[in-house]
Chains A and B, each alone.
Chain A
Amino acid sequence: MSAPRWQLSWWLIRAQFQTRRTATALSMLAIALGVALGYAIHLINDAALADFSQAMKSVQGEPDALVAPQDSAGRVPLALINQLARDEAVALVVPVIETRVRIGELTVRLIGLDVFSAGLLMPDLLPRQGESIKGGGLFEDGMYASPALLARLQTKIGAGVTAMRGDARWSTHIAGDLPAARPDDLLLVADIARVQAHFGPADAVSEGRIRLAPGTKLTAWLNTWAGKLPPGITLRAAADNQARLSNISRAYRVNLNVLALVALLTGGFLVFATQLTAVAQRSTQFALLGVLGLSPRMRLMQVLFEGLAIGVPGAVIGLALGWAMAAAFTRLLGGDLGGGFFSGGTPAIVPELLPALGFFALGCAASLAGALYPAWLNRVQPLAQALKTGFAQRPPSGRDDALRPRAGKAIALALVAGAALALTRLPALFDLPLAGYGAIALVLVLGIAVAPLVTQMAFGAFARRELPAAQRIAVQNVMQAPLMAQVAASGLIVSFALTVSMVTMVASFRVALDQWLDVVLPAPYYVRSKGVPLPPQLLAALERPDAPFARVERMAAGALNLDPRRPTVAVLVRELDPANPGARLPFTGEILAAPAGAIPVWISEPMQELYRLKPGQTLRLPLLGREVEVFVGGVWRDYARQFGAVVIGATDYRALGGKFEATELALWPHQGGEAAARDWLAREASRYGIEMAEAGEIRALSLDIFDKSFAVTYALEAAAMLIGLFGLAVTLAASVWLRARELATLSALGFNRAMLTRAVMLEGALIAAIGLAVGLACGIAVGAILTHVVNPQAFHWRMELQIPWLQVLPGAALTLAAGIIASRFAALQATRLPAAQVLASAQ
């Protein structure tokens, strides 16, 4: 393009921005919002993952492979460690004993290290002996504390310390610190043999971290060991841990990203609306330029340029906004986006060029896509007609929708509906509900496509009735649904559908969660210690006749690694009645009695889905260092553990040789003795530094966490509604402008301002009503897909659909009112047009 052409292009863009300041700014803002949201989610998650893997690296080093028990209660025998160490392909095996101990009221990770090997792999964990300490260094009695732990315990090097775990205790002194520990880590390190002597496991370690000799192929080496390992032990690539880590939050992230995509789409839609009106309003200008020699291609390019002129700054603002959001979010909430997957310190946000460019491109693409159809329309405008009568809403040779047989249209719509339905039947792809997202997109398409049909049917009868002239004009305008009205309605359909669907999903989930909490919290009081067995003194005190409880049930939690690339499955050892597990677990179906001699287990819904299990089948679980055959007695609902859980009876667990060390208690006080029981518990809890809670507190906390984790989505819904409303206002204003001649004629015929205003407002109200009605229907459909397809596939959470009419209907009314106000704004613009001048210019 030559310089004058550029200049022309630039003038047109500038003029366009100046005349449609608000519309342009809001389109930009919508694009920015979409980009910002997507980018912020990306940044936060990246930072959280990096932070998490950094923490892991600090404590675990960077081994090539890991040898570990599948059961968290399991162990790796020393013989296997020694066998691995002698493998010529192995450069180093770093054995580690890791456990949790109680120090006063604090639960702390205690890592038993062999300095000779650990020094090479995990230098961050190497202890430093205190200067005041005399004696034999690391191999002598003593523990080494991280600086954070020293501060937390308010103690110093040389002071005595007692670590307890269940019945075992180790009284020693703090012999030094861990100078390279991360600032937040609460860690104790001691010689591996000392830890073993006090806390076990006998003749075994918790884990071995392996570095291979240079030139060794990891997979080939892992294969050489396949089949040679004792049962219940896995040897796996350390990189699997990374995959596991990112799998933990994957579904949650994808969901948020889809929301960001929706914001981007809405932005694109707004660009579409703005550019369409811009093209329409300037049709005479463009026609004139066309006559003067601006080629159709140039007219197309001009509109695309204008789209980019919105997209580029929008995307740039979006990136900045996204970065700011990410920084603010991590500072306020940490890195878990309310998902609860990561916890701990504030991860650092480190923007990288490539993802930033990617999100920038997405923003530009959205605005370009929005400008595509208006640009094409601009290209095909017949110049002479445009000069004379203004904008043609349909391409000259275009097929007239009215002429197309309704039957054909109905078949097409039915096909789309069928496709959407079929998509909801498909299973998850790559563990993600991709087909579900597809179905949602189709439902929205269907809603937009069906809107004109609904309009014609609903208002057809209405229009035949005797109405005052102004109303009849409005009704007819809507009924014939010219492009503008359709655009305005579709904006509302999409935004209201999304809002209704989210509200529906959240409401369904909340109701289900509420009911679920009822069943899983049967006792009035709960006691929990984090990761360490409850102190035996407390358990003994509870056995005494003067303990103020009628009933106490104990529970222990462990973890099983069934698939190295998936997060672990929780093993819950519970004292429950094997004849009636339904009293404690919210079963979703039949409870099957185990055949004689078989060990029954009850699996959670996520476990059933992740590992494709059926009630009534037998299953081999890597429990306690061996393969144990168990019978799946039923499936219970679990909203707490997304990656699966399996419940086994305490009696059976003990019979298998497991050590049942309770970490949680459910307590029922004596009738009328609630106050005494509460005091008793509070006293004991503070003595041993364990958590106690009333069922009501746990319930409130759970619901609170739930609400917080959906806070992000509420913000999105609000944004979507605003964009939808704004789209309505912009398109309505544009359509009024396009009909300036018609309105001027009406005014010349004696319609006064008020009548015209009412006509336009009625039109707006009708469009909004149609949009909201179709949007509501689509929203409920999308809500059902979210509840019945996306949630089960992404999170393995199943629940009943609940439509919160009390939120949805007032929301619809509010939107309608806002729509009417928006159309009033449009009407005012229209009635301000000097009728005579308009009529004169039309000749």
Chain B
Amino acid sequence: MRRRSFLLAPLLLPAFTAAKQPAVRYAAASRATRLAFPRDHGAHPDFRTEWWYVTGALDTAQGDAGFQLTFFRSRPGLAEDLASPIAASQILFAHAALTLPGKPLLHAERAGRANLGAGFSSADCDVHIGAWSMRRSGTGAAEQFRLKVADAAFGFDLQLAPTQPLLLQGENGWSQKGPRPELASHYVSWPQLQVAGNLTLDGRRQPAAGRAWFDHEWSSEVLAAGGVGWDWIGVNLDDGGALMAFRIRDAAGATLYAHAALRDAAGRLTQFGAGEVSFTPVRHWPSPRNGARYPVQMAIRCGPHTIETMPVQDAQEISAHRPLPVSYWEGLVKIRGTLSGRGYLELTGYAGALKL
């Protein structure tokens, strides 16, 4: 395992970093774009980076459990004009994780190229690598996402049913990520999804239920010059509301850009600009793996609201190898303060600058 990643990394690193001055013209996120669904649930292969990201809290007899499944699509800008249907011009990778009370984090990953054991649809959310999949189907009351993951140690098969409308982040789904307007993504969230299905642990299946959060974001350029990573949080509030907040950091930890959105239980949306949002580390957790210090307990202010993240456990760092070695903290947290709920906190760029 060690040798594999050692061999693979230098091989693929250039593939994902070489195209700084892209030979290909990527599409740019545009303020003028009007999103349409279900088409925009599907992939946008003209963009450089895209992800479909589901996190959720599950209620188990032992306490709070969390799950995560993310499918990433990357267009590295290579093999673009190669006359082969399996050219490595669209790469997919996926990370899945399970946080169980009192147990070490379970994590698995997959990677593949489109059309060769992996694939995506541009018409709807339907992405898979092998038998791992995330797929939307149905309309109205029958609408749902189906998530399937199976690995040696764990697996899940979950249905996610909407209880609320979609939440288009930023301006109708155009989400600015930096002071310059080119630094932006298209960003759609779907909070408060009702979860039903089952988990498989060590070959034994058990039912699972809870609340999840779906994010779909695509962009070609998001990190401002000097940006090394971001802190992000998405919370399903106990009262039925939803809070999303992020900031882009530089190497010194200073905020380059920030934004937050709060939709209350009644569906009223409030956006908070860069000046109204702040992230303040309260307690760090040092990763024994790489020494990165993650501010897992964080005080976050969005306009009038002040909250603090309380991780259900500290060790929720994900260390993935495919296609590239990357480490980040992605974990279930409880929220206390002026708002309360459960959500996922994402801390990237602490174990080396993030490369997109």
Q: Give residues in A with beta carbon < 8 Å to B.
A: 78, 81-82, 85-88, 90-93, 95, 114-117, 119-120, 123, 126-129, 134-140, 179-180, 191-194, 196-197, 203, 213-215
Give the CA-CA distance A138 to B87 in the complex, in Å: 11
Which of A136, A140, A213 has the most chain B CB atoms closer than 10 A to its own CB? A136
Contact A197 B14 (CB under 8 A): no
Contact of A116 among B10, B87, B152, B323 (CB under 8 A): B323
Minimum distance in angstroms from A488 CB to a CB of chain B: 67
Minimum distance in angstroms from B258 CB to a CB of chain A: 34
Minimum distance in angstroms from A277 CB to a CB of chain B: 66
Take A137-B14, A139-B88 as given contacts and tell me if A87 and B131 are in contact as well, using a CB distance cutoff of 8 Å.
yes
User: Does B4 sit within 8 A of A, measured CB to CB?
Assistant: yes
Give the CA-CA distance A179 to B268 in the complex, in Å: 60
Residues of chain A within 8 A (CB-CB) of B88 are 138-139, 191, 193
Give the CA-CA distance A91 to B118 in the complex, in Å: 13
Give the CA-CA distance A117 to B117 in the complex, in Å: 9
Contact A137 B87 (CB under 8 A): no
List 4 A-B pairs, minimum CB-CB distance, nearest first: A85-B117, A137-B14, A193-B84, A139-B88
Residues of chain B within 8 A (CB-CB) of A139 are 15, 76, 78-79, 88
Residues of chain B within 8 A (CB-CB) of A117 are 112, 117
Residue of A nearest to B118 (CB): A85
Minimum distance in angstroms from B11 CB to a CB of chain A: 5
Contact of A120 among B4, B78, B86 (CB under 8 A): B4
Contact A136 B76 (CB under 8 A): yes
Residues of chain B within 8 A (CB-CB) of A140 are 14-15, 78-79
Contact of B84 among A92, A93, A179, A196 (CB under 8 A): A196
Query: Which residues of chain B from 107 to 135 have any CB-CB distance to chain A below 8 Å in the complex?
Result: 111-113, 115-119, 128, 130-131, 133
Q: List 25 A-B contacts (CB under 8 A).
A: A78-B86, A81-B117, A85-B131, A86-B133, A88-B148, A95-B86, A114-B113, A114-B117, A115-B12, A119-B4, A119-B7, A123-B4, A129-B14, A136-B15, A136-B18, A137-B13, A138-B12, A138-B15, A139-B78, A179-B7, A191-B88, A192-B116, A193-B82, A194-B84, A196-B86
Interface size on B, residues (CB 8 A): 41
User: Does B269 sit within 8 A of A, measured CB to CB?
Assistant: no
Query: Which residues of chain B from 62 to 120 have any CB-CB distance to chain A below 8 Å in the complex?
Result: 76, 78-79, 82-88, 91, 111-113, 115-119
Query: Which residues of chain B from 1 to 39 have any CB-CB distance to chain A below 8 Å in the complex?
Result: 3-4, 7-8, 10-15, 18-19
Which of B3, B11, B86, B128 has the most chain A CB atoms closer than 10 A to its own CB? B86
Residues of chain A within 8 A (CB-CB) of B8 are 115, 119, 126
Take A128-B10, A135-B18, A213-B150 as given contacts and tell me if A203 and B85 are in contact as well, using a CB distance cutoff of 8 Å.
yes
Residue of B nearest to A86 (CB): B131
Contact B12 A137 (CB under 8 A): yes
Give the CA-CA distance A763 to B117 in the complex, in Å: 83
Residues of chain B within 8 A (CB-CB) of A179 are 7
User: Does B337 sit within 8 A of A, measured CB to CB?
Assistant: no
Besides A81-B117, A129-B11, A196-B86, 6 new A-B residue pairs in contact (Cβ under 8 A), listed by A number: A114-B113, A137-B12, A139-B76, A139-B79, A179-B7, A214-B203
Give the CA-CA distance A197 to B223 in the complex, in Å: 35
Take A78-B115, A85-B118, A139-B79 as given contacts and tell me if A93 and B130 are in contact as well, using a CB distance cutoff of 8 Å.
yes
Query: Which residues of chain B from 138 to 163 have any CB-CB distance to chain A below 8 Å in the complex?
Result: 148, 150, 152
Contact A128 B131 (CB under 8 A): no
Give the CA-CA distance A82 to B84 in the complex, in Å: 15
Contact B11 A126 (CB under 8 A): yes
Give the CA-CA distance A135 to B119 in the complex, in Å: 26
Residues of chain A within 8 A (CB-CB) of B83 are 197
Residues of chain B within 8 A (CB-CB) of A91 are 130
User: Does B322 sit within 8 A of A, measured CB to CB?
Assistant: yes
Residues of chain A within 8 A (CB-CB) of B118 are 85
Residues of chain A within 8 A (CB-CB) of B115 are 78, 82
Q: Is the interface of A mostly helix, strand, loop or mixed?
A: mixed
Residues of chain B within 8 A (CB-CB) of A119 are 4, 7-8, 322
Minimum distance in angstroms from A76 CB to a CB of chain B: 12
Give the CA-CA distance A206 to B166 in the complex, in Å: 45
Residues of chain A within 8 A (CB-CB) of B130 are 85-86, 90-93
Minimum distance in angstroms from B14 CB to a CB of chain A: 4
Contact B322 A78 (CB under 8 A): no
Minimum distance in angstroms from B131 CB to a CB of chain A: 4
Give the CA-CA distance A203 to B11 in the complex, in Å: 25
Query: Which residues of chain B from 176 to 215 have any CB-CB distance to chain A below 8 Å in the complex?
Result: 203
Contact A197 B87 (CB under 8 A): yes
Residue of A nearest to B111 (CB): A116
Give the CA-CA distance A213 to B87 in the complex, in Å: 27
Give the CA-CA distance A128 to B15 in the complex, in Å: 13
Residues of chain A within 8 A (CB-CB) of B203 are 214-215
Give the CA-CA distance A356 to B119 in the complex, in Å: 54
Minimum distance in angstroms from A107 CB to a CB of chain B: 24
Minimum distance in angstroms from A137 CB to a CB of chain B: 4
Give the CA-CA distance A193 to B112 in the complex, in Å: 13
Give the CA-CA distance A120 to B5 in the complex, in Å: 10
Give the CA-CA distance A86 to B79 in the complex, in Å: 25
Give the CA-CA distance A59 to B201 in the complex, in Å: 34
Residues of chain A within 8 A (CB-CB) of B11 are 115, 126-129, 137-138
Give the CA-CA distance A140 to B133 in the complex, in Å: 29
Residue of B nearest to A176 (CB): B11
Residues of chain A within 8 A (CB-CB) of B14 are 129, 134-137, 140
Contact B78 A114 (CB under 8 A): no
Residues of chain A within 8 A (CB-CB) of B113 are 114, 116, 193
Which of A87, A194, A215 has the most chain B CB atoms closer than 10 A to its own CB? A194
Residues of chain A within 8 A (CB-CB) of B76 are 136, 139
Residues of chain B within 8 A (CB-CB) of A126 are 4, 7-8, 11
Residues of chain A within 8 A (CB-CB) of B19 are 136
Contact B116 A82 (CB under 8 A): yes
Minimum distance in angstroms from B122 CB to a CB of chain A: 17
Contact B7 A123 (CB under 8 A): yes
Residues of chain B within 8 A (CB-CB) of A81 are 116-117
Residues of chain B within 8 A (CB-CB) of A197 are 82-84, 87
Residues of chain B within 8 A (CB-CB) of A85 are 112, 117-118, 130-131
Which of A138, A203, A214 has the most chain B CB atoms closer than 10 A to its own CB? A138
Minimum distance in angstroms from A86 CB to a CB of chain B: 6
Residues of chain A within 8 A (CB-CB) of B322 are 116, 119
Give the CA-CA distance A196 to B84 in the complex, in Å: 7
Residues of chain B within 8 A (CB-CB) of A115 are 8, 11-12
Contact B112 A114 (CB under 8 A): yes
Residues of chain B within 8 A (CB-CB) of A87 are 131
Give the CA-CA distance A180 to B11 in the complex, in Å: 14
Contact B10 A129 (CB under 8 A): yes
Give the CA-CA distance A137 to B118 in the complex, in Å: 21
Contact of B87 among A95, A127, A136, A193 (CB under 8 A): A193
Minimum distance in angstroms from A297 CB to a CB of chain B: 62
Take A86-B131, A114-B112, A203-B85 as given contacts and tell me if A93 and B12 are in contact as well, using a CB distance cutoff of 8 Å.
no
Residues of chain B within 8 A (CB-CB) of A196 are 84, 86
Residue of A nearest to B117 (CB): A85
Minimum distance in angstroms from B205 CB to a CB of chain A: 12
Minimum distance in angstroms from A586 CB to a CB of chain B: 45
Which of B82, B119, B203, B322 has the most chain A CB atoms closer than 10 A to its own CB? B82
Give the CA-CA distance A121 to B87 in the complex, in Å: 21
Contact of A128 among B7, B18, B82, B323 (CB under 8 A): B7
Give the CA-CA distance A685 to B76 in the complex, in Å: 44
Residues of chain A within 8 A (CB-CB) of B18 are 135-137
Give the CA-CA distance A117 to B86 in the complex, in Å: 13
Give the CA-CA distance A245 to B277 in the complex, in Å: 68
Give the CA-CA distance A115 to B14 in the complex, in Å: 14
Residue of B nearest to A200 (CB): B84
Give the CA-CA distance A134 to B19 in the complex, in Å: 12
Give the CA-CA distance A194 to B78 in the complex, in Å: 12
Give the CA-CA distance A136 to B76 in the complex, in Å: 9
Contact A93 B79 (CB under 8 A): no
Residue of A nearest to B19 (CB): A136
